[in-house]
Amino acid sequence: MDELPALLKRVSRIAFFFLSMGCLGWVILPGYKPVFGGFLIGVIGGLAISWHLAWKLVRLGDAAAAGRKPRSGLGFLTRACIGLLAGVVSVRTLEFDLAATAAGLIVPSMATLLLGIIARRRLSDGHPTDERGEKH
C-alpha cells in the first residue's frame, strides 16, 4: 500500500511538468492558444481523475482489509463525468480545441501506465526462476 502514494506523487509531478510546458507553449506561441489551453484543461481533468481513482482504491483496500464488502466500485461514472466536464468547459465555455483536451486527459493515465510497467520490470529483474515459485 506504500506504493500508491509514491506512484500518485510521480504522476502528479509528470502532470505538473506538462502543465508548465503547456503554459510556456502558450506564452511562446500565442497563436496556438486554443490548442495549449485545451491541453491544459485536459491535463487538469486527467489529474483530477487520477486523484479520484487513487482515493477510491484506498477506500476499497481499507474495506477489504476490514473484512467488509465495499458499497461501490471504482467510480467509473464519476471519472467519466470529470472527463466530460473538462471537455465541455474547454470547448463550450473557453472555446479551446477538443482534440488537445482529449490528449491532455490521457497524459496522467499514460504516465501511470508507463510508471507501472517500469516498476514491474524492476521487480522482475531477479532470477528467472523467482516468478515460478520453484524451491531452491
Question: 33 with 90: CB under 8 angstroms?
Answer: no
Residue 129 is assigned to a structural domain of this protein: no
Residue 134 is assigned to a structural domain of this protein: no
The pLDDT score that the predictor gives to residue 119 is 79
Give yes or no for residue 5 having a pLDDT over 90: no
Q: Identity (one letter) of the amino acid at 76?
A: F
Task: Tell me which residue range forms the domain holding 92.
Answer: 3-116
Q: What is the mean pLDDT of the chain?
A: 87
Total residues belonging to the chain: 136
Residue 8 is assigned to a structural domain of this protein: yes
C-alpha to C-alpha distance for 37 and 25, rounded to whole angstroms: 10
The pLDDT score that the predictor gives to residue 86 is 95
Phi, psi of 95 (to 5 degrees): 60, 45
- pLDDT bucket at 125, cuts 50 / 70 / 90: low
- pLDDT bucket at 58, cuts 50 / 70 / 90: confident
Burial class of residue 119 in the structure, from the number of CB atoms within 10 Å of its CB (0-12 exposed, 13-18 middle, 19+ buried): middle
Residue 128 is assigned to a structural domain of this protein: no
Residue 127 is assigned to a structural domain of this protein: no
Residue 7 is assigned to a structural domain of this protein: yes
The pTM (predicted TM-score) of the whole model is: 0.82
Q: Cell numbers for 97, please give them.
A: 480545441
Residue 94 is assigned to a structural domain of this protein: yes
Number of domains in the chain: 1
Q: Cell numbers for 103, please give them.
A: 490528449
- How many C-beta atoms lie closer than 10 Å to residue 123's C-beta? 10
In tens, the pLDDT along 13-41 reads 999 999 999 999 999 999 999 999 999 99
Give yes or no for residue 134 having a pLDDT over 80: no
Question: 75 with 52: CB under 8 angstroms?
Answer: yes
The pLDDT score that the predictor gives to residue 96 is 94
- pLDDT bucket at 63, cuts 50 / 70 / 90: confident
In tens, the pLDDT along 72-92 reads 777 889 999 999 999 999 999
Residue 78 is assigned to a structural domain of this protein: yes
